[in-house]
Amino acid sequence: MTWTKRGRLCEGAAGVPWALTHAALPVVDPLGSGRYRVYFSARDERGRARVGSADTDLTTPGTWKASEAPAIDLGALGSFSDSGVTSSCLVNHGGVKYQFYTGWSLGVSVPFYLNAGLAISEDGGTSFQPVSNAPVLERSDVDPFLTASPWVLIEGGVWRMWYVSGTAWVLSNGRPQHKYHIRYGESRDGIQWVRRGVVCIDFKSDDEYAIARPCVVRDRDMYRMWYAYRGASYRIGYAESSDGVVWERLDDRAGIDVSHEGWDAEMIEYPCVVDAGGRRVMLYNGNDYGRTGIGLAELAPN
């Protein structure tokens, strides 16, 4: 597997008031006729993220027009998303768009809390309404620290989710550091989820502490997952599975890495892989967690 980088769809800030910096965690929604809507997370002057969108053709770098208003805004004061919302996954089902996202709230003993939420759109994706003021993946005995970045596929009436789960907070140089990996859950309606602690992608060394933002594609012969993992800095990883539950981690086959210089030379993360116009493409972020924009890569033919 080899990905060819095609440049940046955008270079960072969207130039609208709610999006002063960053364009992180891209999510692709096909609009038809070769057009696509990319949902992404951008930050305001206080560093709070919101989810908005931009329309593009996924072929021409720079063809990017951001929405004037966010699609998913901050939650109510005191709620799980009052300090930020970041994009994760979009599912089209029964004429409704289901957008799964991560809600951020600030902590005291630890810097932040994360929980996965869900918002739906019945107007074609112009606006989204949270299904609840509470998350769909609350903290529990299975996931006691945090949940985030769900990726969802519907198969045979079953909603299948791969998501980030915190395993611990540890002190590193006197400061709390999160540890999280990727787990699996199922649902019949996308709202009530059964989680049994099934781990899909785990740490490969003691130096690794974050495995983030899974993206799962079902091909005829197997499931494929791309994700971000880090020790010193983020890289994009890859895994394969015959059933979507038991995975083999094959990071050396990811086929994409940091560049020698430029906007994605320090880190590369948050992949979103889609089939578009007969091509398989990847949208991803580079340096500083999306501050430098969203890149586009194309999978080379076999």
CA dihedral 43, 47, 48, 54 (to 10 degrees): 0
Measured distance CA(21)–CA(238) in Å, rounded: 28
CB burial of 64-75 (b: ≥16 within 10 Å; e: otherwise) equals: bebbeebbbbbb
> What pLDDT is stored for residue 62 in this prediction?
67
Backbone angles phi, psi at 253, to 5 degrees: -100, 10
> What pLDDT is stored for residue 216 in this prediction?
98
Determine the average pLDDT of the residues in 158-185.
95
The CATH homologous superfamily of the domain defined by 3-299: Glycosyl hydrolase domain; family 43 (2.115.10.20)
- Report which residue type is found at 9: L
Determine the average pLDDT of the residues in 74-98.
96
Q: Could you write out the DSSP letters of every residue in the chain?
A: --EEEEEEEE-S--SBTTBSEEEEEEEEEEEETTEEEEEEEEE-TTS-EEEEEEEE-SSSTT--EE-SS-SB----TTSTTTTEEEEEEEEEETTEEEEEEEEEEE-SSSSEEEEEEEEEESSTTS--EES-SS-SB---SSS-S-EEEEEEEEETTEEEEEEEEEEEEEEETTEEEEEEEEEEEEESSSSSEEEEEEEEE--SSTT--EEEEEEEEE-SS-EEEEEEEESSSEEEEEEEESSSSS-EE-GGGS-----SSSTTSS--EEEEEEEETTEEEEEEE-GGGGTT-EEEEEEPP-
pLDDT higher for 18 or 266? 266
Reported pTM: 0.95
Average pLDDT score, the chain: 93
pLDDT higher for 298 or 32? 298
**Residue 270, Cβ neighbours under 10 Å: how many?**
30
> What is the token pair recorded at 202?
């785990």
Percent residues over pLDDT 70 in the chain? 98
Determine the average pLDDT of the residues in 161-187.
95
Tens-place pLDDT, residues 104-119: 999 999 999 999 999 9
23, 10 contact by CB (below 8 A): yes
CA dihedral 54, 213, 168, 241 (to 10 degrees): 160
